Amino acid sequence: IYLMAENNLESHGSWQKMGAIEPSYNVPGDNPHWLAAVIDRACSNYEWFKNHPSIIFWSLGNESYAGEDIAAMQAFYKEHDDSRLVHYEGVVYTPELKDRISDVESRMYEKPQNIVAYLEDNPTKPFLDCEYMHDMGNSLGGMQSYNDLIDKYPMYQGGFIWDFIDQALFVHDPITDQDVLRYGGDFDERHSDYAFSGNGLMFADRTPKPAMQEVKYYYGLHK
């Protein structure tokens, strides 16, 4: 299995405000106070996984916009390991940094027609959907429209389904006397995203969901 080792960094709450992109105090951004912290996390990620041959990518984090601190993380990985590619999706919001951050053009849930427009515009970087299917409930669908791009465009590198396994906890139910899987909201907690973490191709007990059939079919077309 080929893997991307992603840095432990996600700060979309600092620049996504009420659904709008508003990066006035995005973290880490260009803030020198965060620089040592994010470099330390990049170093930890690198040291943990540097000897694993399955790791083919480093990722600078998830949904953390972009800025000089992220660029410094990229420089760290390139200095310590120039054999692997570096990925970061957030640079899509800061095109002025595109030459200093990420070896791939990466976007989340981009429409196939927009991907085609990018690929047919003489791109300098291959395209990677870091998230392109959100398998919540029975929502996984439309894979063919993305899968068709693989054969047509050599610069299209596929994508990552969000995600593989549900995140839930086994709890013993005294009424039924059975162990059951429970999600957000099942513990009377507030606030909660409820079953938003239940977006895997498999349930938390590793039982495949029906969506796995579609994924198996389309993955099987490219061997």
Residue whose C-alpha is closest to residue 187's, from 164, 203, 204, 170: 170
The C-alpha torsion from 117 through 133 and 219 to 202, rounded to 10°, is 170
Tokens 């392109």 -> residue: 132
Instruction: Write the CA distances from 101 to 18, 60, 67, 68, 105, integer angstroms.
Output: 27, 9, 9, 9, 10
Tokens 């992109």 -> residue: 21
Residue 97 CA to chain centroid, in angstroms? Answer: 20
- Name the residue type at position 93: Y
* Angstrom distance (rounded) from CA 206 to CA 216: 16
Tokens 């791009």 -> residue: 149
Residues labelled as active-site residues: 63, 131
Q: Identify each DSSP E strand in 19-114 by its residue range.
A: 20-21, 55-59, 85-87, 105-108
